[in-house]
Amino acid sequence: MRQSKLFTKTRKEAPADEVSKNAELLIRGGFIHKEMAGVYMYLPLGLKVLNKIEQIIREEVNSVGAQEISMTALQNPDLWKKSNRWDDSIVDNWFKTKLKNDAELGLGFSHEEPLVNMLKNFISSYKDLPISVYQFQNKFRNELRAKSGILRGREFLMKDMYSFHTSTKDFDAFYEKMKLVYKKIFERAGIGHLTYLTFASGGVFSKYSHEFQTLTSAGEDTIYIDEATSVAVNQEVYTDEVLQNLGLDKEKLVERKAIEVGNIFDLKSRFSEPFDLSFTDENGEKHIILMGCYGIGVGRLMGTVVEALSDDKGIIWPESIAPFKVHLLSLGESEAVKNEADKVYETLLSSNVEVIFDDRSGMSAGEKFADADLIGMPYRAVVSERSIKEGGVELKKRNEEKGKVVSLEELLKILSI
């Protein structure tokens, strides 16, 4: 990508109505565009990040045998009435609309009901189980106050996954696998060292659910961490009884702010029972299927990375999800610099290194450095009169203060790892 051809531009100031760091930096860097409160477009740079996060998630859930599908956004009220979730007094964040014949429809905020209804066509015997199914889809939630940038929106991309089991033993084994899958996802996304498996309320379904909470001062949640065991507890279940059940000493817990980046949940028969989603065992006896669900907000994870890893200059993308691995800057207007920068760019491209090339003319070195820091690629490579005299390209990591001049061969070796 030549930056001169990128239609988006960086901005010195964020919109006055944005107070969250993730929205400020992502808008200023040209990653997202605010359509309205709680609704954002993903622009070329932002979509590349989103797609990379999605692919990490896809690879990890595929590793435990999950199968990807795509469900509909438009929802049939009859299905939701079966589970008593169409009523606004039960679920208060529906977006509802009407067809021209006045028939009501909803925009999906979750997908347990339509999935369970669909699977009745394919599950009948114990031989059909276990299965796990997931999708990436925009969800719609009529939040009273959409805030915190892409951390909490009215329309957002989510990976929602559901598993189906014949027994508690089978479900428990899969649930433990999903804990490890989620841990791997957040490690690959660059925030594993800041993310804790956290005990939270299980609501009406189970004693506990498990959240994955990433430490950051911008967090909406308060968690209490036993740093020796890496066990954390959400404030909502922070009682003496819970601490005793978990074997935690209140005096050893550290209070921190965090953002929930994922959750896993034991649904038991909450949704399979109303739809009579069942199987027959080896003896021909009928049983209700047990379910689990596993969610990750893809945009929310992207926003959390920005909140947790940025500095006062801008974003610091982990290599795994950065739009490009290296930001190549051409400094100066001389033909020698331009020709050398073009040569480096073409060499990187031919070596399959993801590179964005700041080939814009009429800009100072300071402006280009500021833009590079703002959009936060893992490496910055500079071609200038000085670097040419020193026999190469000046390379530095985004989070380093100073770089060093390396030859083109060394540059390729470093960036090809």
Instruction: Note whether 280 and 392 are same-domain residues.
Output: no
Query: With 70 as the cut, is the pLDDT of residue 118 above it?
Result: yes
* Tokens 């929802």 belong to residue: 75
Instruction: Note whether 155 and 230 are same-domain residues.
Output: yes
Q: What contacts 51, CB < 8 A, 6 or more positions away? A: none
Q: How confident is the model at residue 207 (pLDDT cuts 50, 70, 90)?
A: confident
Instruction: Note whether 244 and 132 are same-domain residues.
Output: yes
φ/ψ of residue 298, rounded to 5: -65, -45
| Residue range 259-288, pLDDT digits in tens | 999 999 999 999 999 999 999 999 999 999
With respect to residue 52, please indicate whether it lies within any of the assigned structural domains: yes
Domain span at residue 195 reads 17-309
Mean pLDDT, all residues of the chain:
95
Three-state DSSP state, 10 = coil
Query: With 70 as the cut, is the pLDDT of residue 181 above it?
Result: yes
| Residue range 375-397, pLDDT digits in tens | 999 999 999 999 999 999 999 99
Query: With 90 as the cut, is the pLDDT of residue 100 above it?
Result: yes
Mean pLDDT of 189-208: 88
Q: How confident is the model at residue 143 (pLDDT cuts 50, 70, 90)?
A: confident
Which of 274, 309, 344 terminates a domain? The answer is 309
Three-state DSSP state, 171 = helix
Instruction: Note whether 345 and 405 are same-domain residues.
Output: yes
Question: What pLDDT is attached to residue 204?
Answer: 62
With respect to residue 319, please indicate whether it lies within any of the assigned structural domains: no
Query: With 80 as the cut, is the pLDDT of residue 203 above it?
Result: no
Query: With 80 as the cut, is the pLDDT of residue 205 above it?
Result: no
Query: With 70 as the cut, is the pLDDT of residue 251 above it?
Result: yes
With respect to residue 12, please indicate whether it lies within any of the assigned structural domains: no
Q: How confident is the model at residue 20 (pLDDT cuts 50, 70, 90)?
A: very high
Instruction: Note whether 284 and 354 are same-domain residues.
Output: no
Q: What is the pTM of this model?
A: 0.95
Instruction: Note whether 48 and 192 are same-domain residues.
Output: yes
Q: How confident is the model at residue 311 (pLDDT cuts 50, 70, 90)?
A: very high
Assign residue 213 the CATH number of its domain: 3.30.930.10
N- to C-terminal Cα separation, the chain: 20
Which of 309, 336, 355 terminates a domain? The answer is 309
Mean pLDDT of 108-123: 97
Across 65-182, where does the E strand assignment appear? Answer: 67-68, 74-75, 95-98, 104-107, 131-140, 155-165
Per-position DSSP letters for 46-66, written without gaps between them: HHHHHHHHHHHHHHHHHTTT-
* Tokens 């954390």 belong to residue: 232
Mean pLDDT of 19-32: 96
Instruction: Note whether 256 and 300 are same-domain residues.
Output: yes
Question: 196: which strand partners?
Answer: 213
Instruction: Note whether 399 and 255 are same-domain residues.
Output: no
Instruction: Note whether 199 and 282 are same-domain residues.
Output: yes
Query: With 70 as the cut, is the pLDDT of residue 10 above it?
Result: yes
Instruction: Note whether 293 and 334 are same-domain residues.
Output: no
* Tokens 């009435």 belong to residue: 81
Which of 280, 309, 338 terminates a domain? The answer is 309
Q: Tell which wins on pLDDT, 205 or 196.
A: 196
With respect to residue 316, please indicate whether it lies within any of the assigned structural domains: no
Mean pLDDT of 339-365: 96
Mean pLDDT of 311-323: 97
Q: What contacts 416, CB < 8 A, 6 or more positions away? A: 351, 353
Instruction: Note whether 268 and 396 are same-domain residues.
Output: no
Number of domains in the chain: 2
Q: How confident is the model at residue 60 (pLDDT cuts 50, 70, 90)?
A: very high
Assign residue 403 the CATH number of its domain: 3.40.50.800
290 membership: H or E segment, kind and range: strand 290-297
Query: With 90 as the cut, is the pLDDT of residue 294 above it?
Result: yes
With respect to residue 321, please indicate whether it lies within any of the assigned structural domains: no
With respect to residue 93, please indicate whether it lies within any of the assigned structural domains: yes
Q: How far is CA 227 from the centre of its chain?
A: 25
Instruction: Note whether 150 and 246 are same-domain residues.
Output: yes
Structure tokens at 274: 């109303």
Residues 272, 113: contact at Cβ < 8 Å?
A: no
With respect to residue 9, please indicate whether it lies within any of the assigned structural domains: no
Per-position DSSP letters for 360-416, written without gaps between them: -SS--HHHHHHHHHHHT-SEEEEE-HHHHHTTSEEEEETT-S--EEE-HHHHHHHHT
With respect to residue 317, please indicate whether it lies within any of the assigned structural domains: no
